[in-house]
Chains A and B, each alone.
Chain A
Amino acid sequence: MEQTNRNQDHHPEEQLPDIGDTERWGSLLTGGAMVLLGLKQRSLRGALMALAGGSLAYHGARGQKSLTAQISNQIANQVGEAVGLDQSIRVEKTVTIQNRSPEELYSFWRNFENLPIFMRHLQSVTVLDQTRSHWVAQAPLGQTVEWDAAIVTEQDNRLIAWSSEAGAEIDHSGFVRFQPAPPGRGTEVKVVMEYSPPVGLVGVTIAKFLGEEPEQQIGDDLRCFKMLMEAGEIATTEGQPAAR
């Protein structure tokens, strides 16, 4: 938080949420409580934007941030909230990974092209530039869903927050957070995600796909990440013999 406040001071001209808001969401996202409980009616995207408000300058200074994308997302989000599109699916899952520092886990995850190794529903992620990436996920009946996502805010070795870009087929945002557990207990990895499926047939399909067991899906993904990071491989029985 120290960092975000300082940066905020350096860029008073930007149209961003006030410091109180930034601090509030910042501590929610990085604290020990359940994030979704704290969010209540607020959208995750909104909270991430608020947090980004504090750290935008941090990216701005490094020339990594597409501010236009940010703001258009923010507008889309506000419109969505105004018309009461609160049909979103929200998931929060945490796993502890032994013998790995936040730095190691962050750097593996930060290369988004690694994600399909342990996120089974993802077909591919292509990194487009420092903050933008293209995601392809498997959907039912052999279909795929594709969208572009951008990093909303990030803190090195600690937090990566992303959001689908305006106009994407799927409105999606989330963050992953890496925090040291108590001494000797590894690193706690928390993922919080929110999907707002679009209306129409595609939306229904996606909602069904995501809605089947979103908690379990994210839980499984995180467990596979843990297996890969701790044990070096993901446990499987696919392809073993049976009399059937």
Chain B
Amino acid sequence: MKAVCWHGAMDIRVDTVPDPTLLNPQDAIIKITSTAICGSDIHIYDGFIPSMQPGDIVGHEFMGEVVEVGRAVKRLQPGDRVVVPFPIACGHCFFCQRDLWSLCDNSNPNAALAEKLYGHSPAALFGYSHLFGGYAGGQAEYARVPFADVGPIKIPDGLTDDQVLFLSDILPTGYMAAENCNIQPGDVVAVWGCGPVGQFAIKSAFLLGAERVIAIDRIPERLKMAQTYGGAELINYEEVDPGEALKEMTGGRGPDACIDAVGMEAHGMGLEGWYDKVKQAVRLETDRPNVLRQAIVACRKGGTVSLAGVYGGFLDKVPMGAAFNKGLTLKMGQTHVHRYLQPLLKRIQTRALDPSGIITHHLPLEQAAHGYDIFKEKKDNCIKVVLKP
């Protein structure tokens, strides 16, 4: 089959590899009909995710048709059309049973590696390095999906791939980021980053009752989408200091909740931006936390900072003093996608949400390298790429 493989930083190729086979009794094989490039794939593309091996198949936002199931699979059958959540969860462990699916104990074959870095291993993820299990990803013609009765959600007739594909990751991720803000009537929510997750975080914040949402970015078409698609007010951080602007826009209080929808590769401004770029380049820090710093300082006293953007390693100069003395709540984590599949599918069915609105590019799988390039470099007004195998 054809698959998108990582061969090194900025080196993405479409290779011909063997088709996947059932390896465990609860596996299914999915013939992929749509698969997207995620902002977190750009961290891999840029070479910032450790434990990638040349030749790894990437991709974790995918859907398709079940073509084969293992002998222990009961719920899925060949022919079912499904969306696959990006974390792999067993459904039986302490964490799965408490709805904390991205913390599953039993899906990561390389848990020992993750334990060395994090103390404990989170769930395995599709196509996201050997630290997270080394599972072949979904930017391919076929994928093997473990625990097939636990993860994939069956899609009813009448919905297009574009409407439901993002249930796999970015829609629940944006939603969980907003849910983590514990939004109360009257709340103003600030969202850093108007990429796909930021767009869904804005939508979700309104769905969950936010009074106002303020979106922060520098890319004109992304800001425009935040306004037209999400209904947010805008701050272009290249024109104005977001901290000052947020204070002025919230009567001096600061936003009640701040969402970081950027993560480890934030674009810093001025001296601070250079400081992090240099330190990250020589690996003195692994993540560039400009947005996190801003969010902590901007957030109102007693507010919540919710992290949806991915962090992988170590941060420098995080203003813990501000976080502590303002009594902030910090919420974070890989998305518990399984938890949100049914409720968000319902919202799509009732037209409360139309996730397809953020797609700017459909490309054949063969053009994956081009897709990565335009997405990373924000060329051609690219916001979201969907690949068609």
Contact = CB atoms under 8 A, between A and B. Distances in A.
Nearest to A219: B112
Interface in B48-68: 53-57
B20 A240 contact: yes
B21 A237 contact: no
B62 to A, nearest CB: 15
Contacts of A223: 111-112
Given A231-B90, A241-B136, A236 B109 contact: yes
B92 A235 contact: no
Interface string A201-242: 000000000000000100110010011001111111111111
A99 interface: yes
A154 B126 CA distance: 43
A202 to B, nearest CB: 28
Given A98-B92, A241-B18, 16 more contacts: A99-B92, A185-B94, A227-B105, A231-B91, A232-B25, A232-B72, A235-B109, A237-B135, A241-B3, A241-B17, A241-B136, A242-B17, A243-B5, A243-B13, A243-B55, A244-B54
A46 interface: no
B97 interface: yes
A186 interface: yes
A131 B52 CA distance: 47
B92 A231 contact: yes
Interface residues of B, number: 44
Contacts of A186: 94
A230 B3 contact: no
B106 A227 contact: yes
Nearest to A224: B109
A235 B24 CA distance: 8
A231 B17 contact: no
Given A230-B92, A243-B5, A237 B134 contact: yes
Contacts of A241: 1, 3, 17-20, 57, 136
Nearest to A217: B112
Interface string A96-111: 1011000000000000
Contact of A235 (B7, B57, B94, B133): B133
Contacts of B55: 242-244
Interface string B292-333: 000000000000000000000000000000000000000000
A234 to B, nearest CB: 8
11 contacts: A96-B94, A216-B112, A230-B90, A231-B90, A231-B106, A231-B147, A241-B57, A242-B53, A242-B136, A243-B15, A243-B17
Looking at chain A, what size class is its interface with the partner chain?
Answer: 20 to 34
Contacts of B269: none
Contacts of A98: 92-94, 97, 105
Contact of B23 (A226, A227, A232, A239): A239
A226 B97 CA distance: 15
Contacts of B94: 96, 98, 185-186
A243 B134 contact: no
A199 B46 CA distance: 50
Interface in B184-219: none
B108 interface: yes
B107 interface: yes
Contact of A239 (B21, B111, B133, B134): B21
User: Chain A contact residues: over half helix, strand or loop, or mixed?
Assistant: loop
A230 B104 CA distance: 11
Interface string B79-123: 000000000101111100100000001111101100100000000
A233 B93 contact: no
Nearest to B5: A243
B109 A226 contact: no
A242 to B, nearest CB: 4
Contacts of A233: 24-26, 72
Contacts of B389: none
Contacts of A232: 25-26, 72, 92
A214 to B, nearest CB: 12
B124 interface: yes
Nearest to B89: A231
A186 B94 CA distance: 9
Contacts of B13: 243
A110 to B, nearest CB: 23
Interface in A128-145: none
B106 A226 contact: yes
Contacts of B91: 231
A99 B91 CA distance: 12
Given A98-B97, A241-B57, A226 B105 contact: yes
Given A99-B92, A241-B17, A230 B106 contact: yes
Contacts of B90: 227, 230-231
A234 B110 CA distance: 12
A96 B18 CA distance: 37
A235 B106 contact: yes
Nearest to A227: B106
B336 interface: no
A237 B93 contact: no
Which residue, A98, A220, A230, A241, has most C-beta atoms of chain B within 10 A?
A241
B146 interface: yes
A231 B109 CA distance: 13
A98 B55 CA distance: 36
Contacts of B20: 240-241
A230 B90 CA distance: 8
A237 B109 contact: yes
A237 B131 CA distance: 13
5 cross-chain pairs, A with B, having the tightest CB-CB distances, nearest first: A244-B55, A231-B90, A243-B15, A243-B55, A243-B5
